[in-house]
A and B are shown apart, each in its own frame.
Chain A
Amino acid sequence: MILRAIAILAVLVATACTGAEPVFRPAELVVNPEAPVAEERDVAHESPPSGPLLTVLVSPTDLTTAFRGVPEVVVAGEMLEEDIREVIDAVDLLTWPDGVPVRATVEYVAPMPEATVPEHRFLVRPATDLASGWYALEVQPLSAGRFLVASARDAAPSRARFRVGSGPVVRGVSFSPGDTEVGVSLSLSERIVDERLVADLVTVEVDDAALSCQTRGAEYLGELGRDSIEVVCPRFDLEANVTIRLNGELLTSIGTALEVPFGSSRTELTVNPVRGGLVLDEVALLASRPAPSHDRPRR
C-alpha cells in the first residue's frame, strides 16, 4: 500500500494595486492543485485567438438574495494563460449601491482533469466574511471576439447584485399579452409564503385605475411558497405605464419581507411593457435601468 499526499498551492501572480485609484484590484491568483500548466506561447504580435468563444457566467445571478457561499465567475471553454489573467483583472467586488470596493482575492480553479465541460472558475474571496447587506460582483468588459459574457450589455460591466442574508426582492416583471388578457408575472428572489389568494397579493394599475386581475395557475402559493407571482389581467394598453403594488407584507418562511429593490418605493414599481419589451427578460428589465445612482425602475 502506498500512502502519498502531495499538495501544491502556488501563488502565480501577485499584482499590486494599480494607479491611484483607491479601488482594490484582485491581487492574488491562487491556483488549485488541478490547475493545468497553461500552454506557453509567444503572444507578441499575435492576433486574438480564434475558435469557440469563452462563455462567461457570473454567480450569483443579478438580484440574488439569501446568498451563501463565495461569488464566482465561471468561464466555459479552453482558456489560455492570458485569458485567465484578463478575467482576474476584470473582476471587482463592491458594496451596493454605494460602490465601495471590498477587499478580496480572486482564486483561479482549473477544471478537473476529467471534466465533461472545461469550466474555469474564478472565486472572489473576500478578506473577511461578508456582512449582511448588498454587494455587486462586476466583470469589466472582456476582449470582444474572445469572451461572450452572458449578462453583458454594450460596453458596461457585467454586474450581479446580490444580498448576503435574506431580503427578498422583485427581480423582474414580464408581460404575456393575449387577445383579451395580459399575463403579469413577478419574479422574486426568494420564496414567499402567504395564505391569501395569489390575485390578492398584488394590485395592477394602468393609468391610475386598478385592474381586476385573476390568479393564473395555482390559486395559492402553498406551504413551500413560490418565487413568482402570476396574475392575468384584462387586456390593457401596452403602451401605458403599469404600476404594480405589493399588497401588505409578503413574507418568506423566515419572516423577511418582499421589497422592490433600490426603488423610490419599497412596495411599488412602475414599468412600461412596450418600452421594456413585450416579452421581458426578468433581469433585463431591471438591469437596463439607468446608472446606479439613479437605480430605480423606469417610469
Chain B
Amino acid sequence: MCGGVVNSPRIRCAISWLIAATILGGGVGVVLPHRAHAQSFLYHPMAAGETVNIPIDWRDEDEWFGDPYPNFAPIGTVPRTNRYAANQNHRIRIIGNPNVRRPRVHFWTLRMNSVAVGGLADSFRVQWGGTNYGESWAWGDYGSNPSGPDVNTLGLLIDSATANYSLMHPGAYLNFRSGPAWSGSGAYFESEDQGFRIASMDFIGTGSQGTWIVPTLNAHERVLGVLLGGGSTNGDTVDFRLPAHATGRYTVQLWLDNPNSGDVLLWANCGSLPDATHFAAASNTAPASSYPGWAGATLDLPACAAGWYVTATSTSPQNHIFHLTWGVHAADHELTDIRIGTAPPVGTPAELATVRATFQRAAWLFHGWTGGVWAVRDFRIYVGTDCNTVWPNDQFACGGGLCRFCLLNAPESATCISNTSISTGEITLCRNSWANAYVIAHEMAHAYAGLSDEYDTVSCGAPGTRVTMSTCGPSVMGSNSWNANSFCNALSHRTSLDDLLNAAGSFVPNWNNDDARDCTGGWHWTNAGNAWEHVNVHHAIFDMPGTITPHNVTYFPLFATDPRFGWFTN
C-alpha cells in the first residue's frame, strides 16, 4: 500500500497499514487498487457478430444447493455458484457494458427428470429487463448428462435487433424455476435436488452501442456480470448504481466465477461515477492465494444520500464472469462486541482458532442470508467462563456481561443440544456445532432475526403413492446440511400439500409448466409467514429501503470473509 519509495515516511506508512490489517484482519488485509490499476474506464468494443463465449467454471456449483463443506475445511475448496437446487424460484440480473447486445445462456440439467416434462413449474428463461421484452425460455426434459459431453446444452438467446438494448440497459434477466423435489414411492417421484447447471454464456456484439443508462441495482438483487478481456490497459468497464439511502450502510460483494482469471476492481463514488482519481472507496479482488478457489472484493460503504455509483473494471486480457450482490442495513442492525464464553475445558489454542474461523464465516453467512440486513461486526472470546451455569451467574459470565454464545465441550447428543434460549437469546453450542458456521448462523437467525425452525416435511396421498417433501428445501432454518444457503421465501415455501390434491383427495400433477398452479387452481408457490418474510418485516421496521424482492436472498460465498465482518477483538 505504501511501498515503492524507500524512505522513512513510507516505511512508517507501510508498517501502520500492516498493523491495521493485522488487528482487523484475521490474517488477510483488504486489498486495494494501486497505481498500476489506473485505467481509462472505457467500455470494451464489440464488432458486429463478434461472439465471446465464456465458460462458467465447472468447479463453481451448488450455490443454492448447499455447500458440501459445512464443516469448513476451506483451503482448496471452492464456493458453488452455478448449480441450482430444486424448489427454487430465482432471478439473476445479467449486466455488462453497452456494447454487449445479445446474451445467450447455455445450460443443462443435471439429472434426468430434473426438468421433466410435466415437472411442476419448471422453467428456465432469459429475457431483457422490463416487462418480458425479448424473452427466450424453455421447459421440459432436455436431457442431461452431467458426467458426459456437453451435448445436451441448450442455449437461450435474446437480442436487441429491434431495440437499442444492451447489457447495460435494460440488462438481461435469467429466471429459473425448479419445481419441488419429490420423494416417495409414487409415480410422481422427481428428484430435482441438483437442479440446473449453467455451462457457459455467449456475449455477442452488433457493432453499435446500446443505450447508455447506468443501471440501478435493487437491494439484494443477484447479479452476474461480464467484463470482456481487453488485453490492454483499457480493459472493460461495467457501471451500475445503488439507490439513494440516507442512513443505511451499504455492503457490496463481488466474486469471480473463475478465481484465477485475474484482477477485477470495484470502485465506488457517492453521487457520480468513479474513475481512477475520483472515487470514495475501492477494492481489488483478493488474490486467489488468500483463499484458494475464491477471489472476491468487498465494499463497505457509508450512507450516501445521492446514491452510490459503482464500477467494476478489469485490465486483464482474460474475460471475466463476476457475481455480485449488495445489501444495506441500518445502524441498529449492526452487532458489535458479541461475547462468546467457553465453558471449561474448551479453550485450547487449536479450539480457539477453530472458533475464530467458524464465527467469522458465520458472520458472513448471517449477513448474506438476511440480505445484508444484519451485520455482525466483531466478537470477543472469554475463555473458561461460567456461561453454562444457572441464572443469575450466567448473566455475568463474560466479562461481567451476558455470554451471547456459550460453547460446551460435550458433543451434540441428547444431553447437549445446540439451541437458542427464548428468554435470554443466549445461544448454546455443543462441540460439533461451534465448529460449524451453518449452525452458528442458524442460531443467530433465531436469536437476532427472530426466525423459527423450518424442519418440517409434509406428505399426502395413500400408501404407495404418498408424496413427501420438505416445507422448504432451501431454508437455512430447515436444515444446515443441504440447500442451506438461503431463507425460504413466499415463492418456494409451503406448509401443506393440500393444493396438490384434487377434489377427491387424489394427487394430480400439473402439466402446465411455469404457471405454478395445480389442477384445482391452487398455487404451488404460496404461503407467506416464512423465514424470508420475517426478515422482510424486520427490514421494513428498521428503515430499510423499499420492499425486498424475495427472489434472491443475498448469497455470499462461503469464504468471503474479510476484516469487515466477524473479526475478533481478542
Chain A residues within 8 Å of B, Cβ to Cβ: 1-9, 32-34, 55, 57-61, 64-70, 74, 76, 107, 109, 111-119, 121, 123, 150, 162, 166, 168, 189-191, 195, 197, 218-220, 222-225, 227, 252-254, 256
| A183 → chain B closest CB, angstroms | 19
Look across to chain A and name the residue whose beta carbon is closest to the beta carbon of B214.
A69
* Per-residue A-contact encoding for B109-146, CB less than 8 Å = 1, 0 else: 00000000000000000001111111111100000000
Residue B280 interfacial (CB < 8 Å): yes
* Per-residue A-contact encoding for B7-38, CB less than 8 Å = 1, 0 else: 00110110010000000000000001111001
Asked whether B134 lies within 8 Å of A5 as measured between CB atoms, the reply is yes
The verdict on A219 contacting B13 (CB below 8 Å), with A5-B158, A256-B277 known, is yes
| A118-B216 Cα distance, complex, nearest whole Å | 10
| A157 → chain B closest CB, angstroms | 17
Asked whether B170 lies within 8 Å of A112 as measured between CB atoms, the reply is yes
Residue B278 interfacial (CB < 8 Å): yes
Asked whether B546 lies within 8 Å of A60 as measured between CB atoms, the reply is no
The verdict on A1 contacting B212 (CB below 8 Å), with A7-B164, A33-B130 known, is no
| A175-B336 Cα distance, complex, nearest whole Å | 31
Look across to chain A and name the residue whose beta carbon is closest to the beta carbon of B34.
A223
**A191 — which chain B residues lie within 8 A by C-beta?**
277-279
**B138 — which chain A residues lie within 8 A by C-beta?**
1
| A206 → chain B closest CB, angstroms | 28
Tell me which of A6, A9, A190, A253 has the highest count of chain B C-beta atoms within 10 A of its own C-beta: A6
Residue B6 interfacial (CB < 8 Å): no
Asked whether B243 lies within 8 Å of A116 as measured between CB atoms, the reply is yes
**A223 — which chain B residues lie within 8 A by C-beta?**
1-4, 34-35
| B324 → chain A closest CB, angstroms | 16
Tell me which of B3, B159, B278 has the highest count of chain A C-beta atoms within 10 A of its own C-beta: B278
12 contacts between A and B (CB under 8 A): A1-B156, A3-B157, A3-B158, A6-B163, A34-B129, A55-B244, A116-B219, A116-B243, A116-B549, A119-B216, A123-B213, A224-B34
| A114-B270 Cα distance, complex, nearest whole Å | 23
Asked whether B160 lies within 8 Å of A7 as measured between CB atoms, the reply is yes
Residue B82 interfacial (CB < 8 Å): no
Which residues of chain B from 290 to 330 have any CB-CB distance to chain A below 8 Å in the complex? 305-307, 309
Residue B161 interfacial (CB < 8 Å): yes
Asked whether A59 lies within 8 Å of B159 as measured between CB atoms, the reply is no
**A4 — which chain B residues lie within 8 A by C-beta?**
132-136
| A162-B271 Cα distance, complex, nearest whole Å | 12
Asked whether B546 lies within 8 Å of A113 as measured between CB atoms, the reply is no
**B270 — which chain A residues lie within 8 A by C-beta?**
61
The verdict on A32 contacting B213 (CB below 8 Å), with A68-B275, A76-B243, A220-B2 known, is yes
Tell me which of B130, B212, B220 has the highest count of chain A C-beta atoms within 10 A of its own C-beta: B130
Residue B373 interfacial (CB < 8 Å): no
Residue B66 interfacial (CB < 8 Å): no
Look across to chain B and name the residue whose beta carbon is closest to the beta carbon of A151.
B306
- The listed residue (B160, B212, B216, B272) touching A60 by CB distance below 8 A is B272
Look across to chain A and name the residue whose beta carbon is closest to the beta carbon of B273.
A69
**B38 — which chain A residues lie within 8 A by C-beta?**
253-254
| B21 → chain A closest CB, angstroms | 14
| A7-B164 Cα distance, complex, nearest whole Å | 8
| A253-B214 Cα distance, complex, nearest whole Å | 26
Asked whether A253 lies within 8 Å of B276 as measured between CB atoms, the reply is yes
Asked whether A7 lies within 8 Å of B163 as measured between CB atoms, the reply is yes
**B276 — which chain A residues lie within 8 A by C-beta?**
253-254
The verdict on A1 contacting B137 (CB below 8 Å), with A69-B214, A117-B244 known, is yes
Asked whether A33 lies within 8 Å of B272 as measured between CB atoms, the reply is no
| A284-B60 Cα distance, complex, nearest whole Å | 49
Chain B residues within 8 Å of A, Cβ to Cβ: 1-5, 9-10, 12-13, 16, 32-35, 38, 41, 128-138, 156-165, 169-170, 211-214, 216, 218-220, 239, 243-245, 270-273, 275-280, 282, 305-307, 309, 545-549
Asked whether A68 lies within 8 Å of B9 as measured between CB atoms, the reply is no
**B211 — which chain A residues lie within 8 A by C-beta?**
32
Asked whether B156 lies within 8 Å of A112 as measured between CB atoms, the reply is no
Asked whether A189 lies within 8 Å of B212 as measured between CB atoms, the reply is no
| A294 → chain B closest CB, angstroms | 26
**A118 — which chain B residues lie within 8 A by C-beta?**
546
**B165 — which chain A residues lie within 8 A by C-beta?**
7, 33
Q: Give 7 closest A-B pairs by Cβ, nearest first.
A: A7-B163, A60-B272, A116-B546, A5-B134, A61-B271, A66-B278, A117-B243
| A113-B129 Cα distance, complex, nearest whole Å | 9
Asked whether A68 lies within 8 Å of B216 as measured between CB atoms, the reply is no
| A13 → chain B closest CB, angstroms | 19
Look across to chain A and name the residue whose beta carbon is closest to the beta carbon of B212.
A70
| A117-B243 Cα distance, complex, nearest whole Å | 7
Asked whether B244 lies within 8 Å of A57 as measured between CB atoms, the reply is yes
| A7-B211 Cα distance, complex, nearest whole Å | 12
| A188-B161 Cα distance, complex, nearest whole Å | 44
| A60-B271 Cα distance, complex, nearest whole Å | 5
| A207-B33 Cα distance, complex, nearest whole Å | 42
**A61 — which chain B residues lie within 8 A by C-beta?**
270-272, 306
- The listed residue (B32, B218, B278, B309) touching A112 by CB distance below 8 A is B218
| A253-B36 Cα distance, complex, nearest whole Å | 11
Asked whether A195 lies within 8 Å of B278 as measured between CB atoms, the reply is no
| A254-B39 Cα distance, complex, nearest whole Å | 10
- The listed residue (B131, B135, B273) touching A2 by CB distance below 8 A is B135
**A58 — which chain B residues lie within 8 A by C-beta?**
306
Asked whether B213 lies within 8 Å of A109 as measured between CB atoms, the reply is yes
Look across to chain B and name the residue whose beta carbon is closest to the beta carbon of A112.
B129
Asked whether B170 lies within 8 Å of A59 as measured between CB atoms, the reply is no
Look across to chain B and name the residue whose beta carbon is closest to the beta carbon of A117.
B243
**A60 — which chain B residues lie within 8 A by C-beta?**
271-272
- The listed residue (B2, B272, B545) touching A116 by CB distance below 8 A is B545
**A114 — which chain B residues lie within 8 A by C-beta?**
218, 549
Look across to chain B and name the residue whose beta carbon is closest to the beta carbon of A30.
B211
**A116 — which chain B residues lie within 8 A by C-beta?**
218-220, 243, 545-549
| A82-B429 Cα distance, complex, nearest whole Å | 59
| B463 → chain A closest CB, angstroms | 40
| B196 → chain A closest CB, angstroms | 16
| A93 → chain B closest CB, angstroms | 15
| A115-B221 Cα distance, complex, nearest whole Å | 10
- The listed residue (B135, B162, B163, B239) touching A69 by CB distance below 8 A is B239
| A221 → chain B closest CB, angstroms | 9
